[in-house]
Amino acid sequence: MHGLISKDEELKASSVYIGYLILKRLNKKKDNRITIFDLVEELKEHKVIHYRQILFALMFLHTCGVIDFVEPYIYKLHVESSQIVTYEQDQPTLF
């Protein structure tokens, strides 16, 4: 099973760290969106040059429900951190 962070991998090459860089960039944008081309150019400043690292970071953020894709943009979704979803008898309940 593949972990989010490996002891054999440099921390700054992990999908979690690169996801952090992506969210940091999206937070600076007023409209919470960025094109993949602009994102790649900005990640090059942090020496992130391999498409695989970026792809895994984007998949990680999308799986967590933090970003979404609508051509040609990547959007940061508004997630309420104070809401906890629990499932009772297959019915989601919001607290």
Asked if the peptide bond before residue 92 counts as cis, ω within 30 degrees of 0, the response is no
Between 2.40.50, 1.10.10, 1.20.140, 1.10.3470, what CATH number should domain 11-94 receive? 1.10.10
- The pTM (predicted TM-score) of the whole model is 0.73
Are 62 and 68 in contact by the 8 Å Cβ rule? The answer is: yes
Q: Write down the pLDDT at residue 92.
A: 47
Measured CA to CA in angstroms, residue 3 lies from 9, 21, 42, 48 at distances of 11, 19, 26, 20
What's the pLDDT band for 48 if we cut at 50, 70, 90? confident
pLDDT of residue 5: 66
